[in-house]
Amino acid sequence: MTQVAGKRRNIAGGYHPGRMLFVFGCWLFCLLLLLWRAVDLHLVQHEFLQRQGDLRNLRIEPLVAHRGVITDRAGRPLAVSTPVTTLWANPREVLDATEKWSLLAGNPVLDSVALAARVKRHADREFVYLARHLAPADAQKVLRAGVPGIYPLTEYRRYYPAAEVTSHLVGFTNIDGLGQEGMELSLESRLAAESGSKRVLRDLRGRVIRDIELIKAARSGEDIALSIDLRLQYLAYRELLGAVTELHASAGSLVVLDAWTGEVLAMVNQPGYNPNNRARIQVEHLRNRALTDVFEPGSTIKPLTVAAALESGLIDLDYRIDTSPGHLRIAGKTIRDAHDYGVVDLTTLLARSSNVATAQIALAMESNLLPMFLDRFGLGNSTSSGFPGESQGFLPFRARWHDLETATLSYGYGLSVTLTQLAAAYATLANDGVRLPVTLLKRETPPSNSGEPVISRETARSLVSMMEAAVADTGTARRARVAGYRVAGKTGTVYKMTASGYADDRYLALFAGVAPLERPRYVVAVVIDDPRGDDYYGGLAAAPVFSRVMAGVLRTMRVSPVVTVDAAANTGEAPL
């Protein structure tokens, strides 16, 4: 008791510096320990810990971007990207859960039998495609069954609702969504989408709680409106297909232009292909022949020859040419007309398509004047369409011209053009002699002052009205008439060039024309390649296609009929 009391007294009264030091020492040690730990965590291990923490909480999330939609001028979709779901499986996980396979028994999209076959064959792998490019709803049917080891993957697929009607112009993309042909290729940089990504912070339950940073902004592709009108495109497609099939022709093209703006309203070719199903595609069917294939334009350039002669002041509108006896001998070759037309004026020259008269005019012209004029009309020059694979065509310029070369050039041999160039030249005539750049993209406003005057307004107008004679009863293109409207145009029948020179039984049938004559605006140019049978002339093979397409164009564009129609003149059922 005394001892205890004594001890207490000691505690209460005495001071033991050793104990105090000991306690302070302990505290200091603890403090240093903590400090060291803090330094260790914050400085030494900081990076490792930060990374580990980020691995648990930071995620990179994708930002979705879409390839631009291609539409026609009224916004009707021609090429649309839509998400599709690809199902893939990890065979090991699937094989571990054999008892759950029955959940997919009789599934309409992916049956349990198919699943078993697929995963067993690739049992050693960790990734196998089950079904690619499914509609998202179909994929859900499989995923909802809940078989472990099956995962979805979102991919994008490009669909072409208008299919064959627009395939040559629009083109298509490959499985990675890159443009391969047509406008999909030439507009690739504007259509292409760049998907982005961002870093986010997530909580324990995986919910995103904060955006940390934008790693790469998503950039969706631009939506682009083409100049074509799907209504006219379909009409042109149907009529061209009908004509090519009926005539057993090997190919054909048709272009509709708006002469006031230079826009292409329709551009179709045969043979075609379905861009949505390219399994058995033939490469030659992919060509947009209206822009890539060149041919000798034949008689269809006679109006341009006459325009050159008129514009250079060589002849005037009342000029007459003696074509007797219906043929002309130049340098050992004979240029022939179908008949002896006698003395003809310019209107008859165009209506009857006289080679002799055209050659005589050309021979009176200075050499190189005609090719220079044709050059200004845009022949032998790429149009400004920017279409991949477009041909430039060919115009001859020579230091010395032989008479025969001049003569044949005047009626369309010895040069080569694309159908679009030919249509653009006629559009120049229709647009009062002012040449506008051709475009495949919609122009919001008609280009002002960008046109290049090629010939005078008076010359252009008189040429268009002269060409009306070609569809008159005595002309070569009676079947180009459009009931209710005044139209004008020019036929062409060209011998096809083959490896062994001009073939004498293979032709190109051509027609190019404008309407309505009160205010010429729409240009339709048609070429039918190698029509079989006896109706191979431009006036018989190509002119009816022009007539049907132009009738539809004028009706669709709400041009009111001006000519009273009698029953006899009616050319038959117009296209819908």
Partner 1 sequence: MMHAVGGRRLLMKVFLVLLVVLSAVAVTVSVHESRRLIAQLQTEQRSSVRLQSVWSQLQLEQGTWGSYSKIEQLARAELHMHMPAAQEKVVVQP
What is the set of active-site residues? Answer: 299
Give 448 or 560: the residue with its C-beta nearer to partner 1.
Answer: 560
Tell the smallest beta-carbon distance from residue 234 to partner 1 (Å): 4
Helix (H, G, I), strand (E, B) or coil at 229: coil
Alpha helix segments (H runs only) across 171-285: 182-186, 188-191, 230-246
Give 349 or 551: the residue with its C-beta nearer to partner 1.
Answer: 551
Site membership for partner 1, residue 231 (CB under 8 A)? yes
Tell the smallest beta-carbon distance from residue 55 to partner 1 (Å): 21
Give 204 or 331: the residue with its C-beta nearer to partner 1.
Answer: 204
Window contacting partner 1 (CB under 8 A); options: 43-51, 77-85, 400-408, 455-463? 77-85
Query: Cα separations (Å) of 435 from 369, 449, 458?
Result: 18, 11, 15
Query: What span, in angstroms and rounded, lies between the C-alpha atoms of 155 and 175?
Result: 10
Give Cα 458 to chain centroid, integer Å: 37
Site membership for partner 1, residue 26 (CB under 8 A)? no
DSSP 8-state code for residue 160: -
Tokens of 308: 């050159």
Contacts of 92 (CB under 8 A, 6+ apart): 123, 126, 149
Burial class of 172 by CB neighbour count within 10 A (0 to 12, 13 to 18, 19+): buried
Site membership for partner 1, residue 230 (CB under 8 A)? yes
Site membership for partner 1, residue 238 (CB under 8 A)? yes
Tell the smallest beta-carbon distance from residue 336 to partner 1 (Å): 37
Window contacting partner 1 (CB under 8 A); options: 117-125, 227-235, 312-320, 368-376? 227-235
Tell the smallest beta-carbon distance from residue 62 to partner 1 (Å): 10
362-367: Cβ within 8 A, 24+ apart: 362/305, 362/309, 362/406, 362/407, 362/409, 362/410, 363/330, 363/403, 363/406, 363/407, 363/410, 364/309, 364/314, 364/315, 365/308, 365/309, 365/312, 365/314, 365/406, 366/312, 367/398, 367/400, 367/401, 367/406
Give 235 or 436: the residue with its C-beta nearer to partner 1.
Answer: 235
| Among positions 59, 76, 133, 532, the unique one binding partner 1 when judged by CB under 8 A | 76
Contact (Cβ atoms closer than 8 angstroms) between residue 359 and residue 381 = no
Give 234 or 295: the residue with its C-beta nearer to partner 1.
Answer: 234
Tell the smallest beta-carbon distance from residue 574 to partner 1 (Å): 5
Query: What span, in angstroms and rounded, lies between the C-alpha atoms of 574 and 570?
Result: 9
Contacts of 471 (CB under 8 A, 6+ apart): 477, 478, 480, 481, 487, 488, 489, 513
Tokens of 266: 């329709």
Site membership for partner 1, residue 268 (CB under 8 A)? no
| Among positions 69, 128, 224, 363, the unique one binding partner 1 when judged by CB under 8 A | 69
Helix (H, G, I), strand (E, B) or coil at 333: strand
| Among positions 208, 214, 364, 503, the unique one binding partner 1 when judged by CB under 8 A | 208
Give 59 or 532: the residue with its C-beta nearer to partner 1.
Answer: 59
Window contacting partner 1 (CB under 8 A); options: 16-24, 160-168, 369-377, 492-500? 160-168
What is the bridge-based pairing of β-strands 224-225 and 70-71? parallel
Query: Cα separations (Å) of 356 from 301, 316, 365, 424, 472?
Result: 14, 18, 15, 26, 21
| Among positions 21, 30, 41, 64, the unique one binding partner 1 when judged by CB under 8 A | 64
- Give residues 463-502 in contact with partner 1 (rule: CB under 8 A): 483-484
- Give residues 121-150 in contact with partner 1 (rule: CB under 8 A): 136
Query: What span, in angstroms and rounded, lies between the C-alpha atoms of 259 and 253?
Result: 19
DSSP E strands: which ranges in 76-207?
A: 77-89, 128-134, 150-159, 196-202
Site membership for partner 1, residue 213 (CB under 8 A)? no
Site membership for partner 1, residue 196 (CB under 8 A)? no
Q: How many helices (H) and strands (E) does the chain have?
A: 19, 19
One-letter amino acid at 4 equals V
Site membership for partner 1, residue 43 (CB under 8 A)? no
Site membership for partner 1, residue 66 (CB under 8 A)? yes
Query: What span, in angstroms and rounded, lies between the C-alpha atoms of 508 and 449?
Result: 36
Site membership for partner 1, residue 82 (CB under 8 A)? yes
Site membership for partner 1, residue 209 (CB under 8 A)? yes
Site membership for partner 1, residue 450 (CB under 8 A)? no
Contact (Cβ atoms closer than 8 angstroms) between residue 341 and residue 326 = yes
Give 230 or 321: the residue with its C-beta nearer to partner 1.
Answer: 230
Tell the smallest beta-carbon distance from residue 143 to partner 1 (Å): 16
Site membership for partner 1, residue 557 (CB under 8 A)? no
Mutual angle of helices 457-467 and 419-430, in 10-degree steps: 110
Site membership for partner 1, residue 224 (CB under 8 A)? no
Contacts of 511 (CB under 8 A, 6+ apart): 300, 477, 480, 489, 490, 491, 492, 524, 525, 526, 538, 539, 542, 543, 545, 546
| Among positions 58, 80, 212, 330, the unique one binding partner 1 when judged by CB under 8 A | 80
Site membership for partner 1, residue 376 (CB under 8 A)? no
Tell the smallest beta-carbon distance from residue 481 to partner 1 (Å): 10
Site membership for partner 1, residue 33 (CB under 8 A)? no
Site membership for partner 1, residue 218 (CB under 8 A)? no
Tracing tokens 């011998």 back to the chain, one arrives at 495
Window contacting partner 1 (CB under 8 A); options: 31-39, 142-150, 229-237, 409-417? 229-237
Site membership for partner 1, residue 567 (CB under 8 A)? yes
| Among positions 25, 53, 148, 161, the unique one binding partner 1 when judged by CB under 8 A | 161
Give 161 or 325: the residue with its C-beta nearer to partner 1.
Answer: 161
| Among positions 81, 269, 292, 459, the unique one binding partner 1 when judged by CB under 8 A | 81
Overall size of the chain counted in residues = 576
Site membership for partner 1, residue 560 (CB under 8 A)? yes
One-letter amino acid at 227 equals S
Size of the site for partner 1 (CB under 8 A): 39
Query: Cα separations (Å) of 20 from 25, 88, 136, 395?
Result: 8, 72, 76, 111
| Among positions 54, 126, 211, 322, the unique one binding partner 1 when judged by CB under 8 A | 211
Residues of the shown chain interacting with partner 1 in the complex, contacts defined by CB under 8 A? 64, 66, 69, 76-77, 80-83, 136, 159, 161-163, 165, 207-211, 230-231, 234-235, 238, 483-484, 560-561, 565-567, 569-570, 572-576
